[in-house]
Amino acid sequence: MNIPRHFLLLSIFTFLCLSQTSRGNKTGILAGPLGSVVSIAHRGAVVPEYPENTLMAFRKAMQAGSEVVEIDLRSSKDGEIVILHDSTLDRTTNGTGPVSDYTLTELKRLDAGMGERIPTYSEVLQLVSSTNAQLLLDLKVTSLPELTKIVRLTEKHGHVLNVIAAVRSLEELKDIQSLNPNLRTLAFIPEREDIETYSKAGVDIIRLWPDWIREDPNLVKKVHSLGNTVWTTSMKAKNEELKELIGYGVNGLFTDFPEMVSRMRAELE
Best-predicted range by mean pLDDT (3-17, 95-109, 251-265) = 95-109
CA 169 – CA 189 distance, rounded (Å): 8
Is residue 1's pLDDT more than 50? no
For the stretch 164-214, pLDDT in tens is: 999 999 999 999 999 999 999 999 999 999 999 999 999 999 999 999 999
**DSSP state letters, 2-65:** PPPHHHHHHHHHHHHHH----TT---------GGGPEEEEGGG---TTS-TTSHHHHHHHHHTT
pLDDT of residue 66: 96
CB 124 within 8 A of CB 59: no
Which band of pLDDT confidence, cut at 50, 70 and 90, is reported for residue 28? very low
CATH level 2 (architecture), domain 5-19+26-268: Alpha-Beta Barrel (3.20)
Instruction: Return the domain boundaries, the chain.
Output: 5-19+26-268
Mean pLDDT of the chain: 89
pLDDT confidence of 25, banded at 50, 70, 90? Answer: very low
Residue 29: per-residue pLDDT: 35
Taking CA 259 as the corner, what is the angle to CA 229 and CA 71, rounded to the nearest 5 degrees? 55
Q: CB–CB of 15/230 below 8 Å?
A: no
DSSP H/E element including 112: none
